[in-house]
Amino acid sequence: MMGHLQVSACETVQRTIINMGSQSRRPTRVPLLTALHKALLLSWARQHYHWTVDDWKHVTWYDESRFQLYRTNARVRVWRQHH
């Protein structure tokens, strides 16, 4: 019985994500960070170190999120907003 509930909940979550305009895709392979990338990230972090919570409330993050609802066959997929 619990397995059926788990599958139903997963299907509900997937349907909701799709209805919100996202699509499931294979993740893009990306190279590791270079020394330049690390320096740029550190610079960005230092520039924003003193931001308040209110400052961060005005930021929109366009990022990928990974959610594991149950064990799969290890094929990773990410959900992205359809543009």
Query: For 5-49, what is each residue's pLDDT tens digit?
Result: 566 777 888 888 888 888 777 777 777 888 999 999 999 999 999
Is 60 exceeded by the pLDDT of residue 67?
A: yes
Average pLDDT over residues 53-64: 82
Q: Tell me the CA distances in angstroms from 5 to 8, 9, 10, 11, 58, one per residue in order.
A: 5, 6, 9, 10, 38
For position 47, what pLDDT does the model report? 96
Is 90 exceeded by the pLDDT of residue 73?
A: no
How far, in Å, CA of 30 to CA of 18, rounded? 25
Q: Tell me the CA distances in angstroms from 16 to 4, 76, 80, 82, one per residue in order.
A: 18, 19, 13, 14
For position 68, what pLDDT does the model report? 64
Is 90 exceeded by the pLDDT of residue 60?
A: no
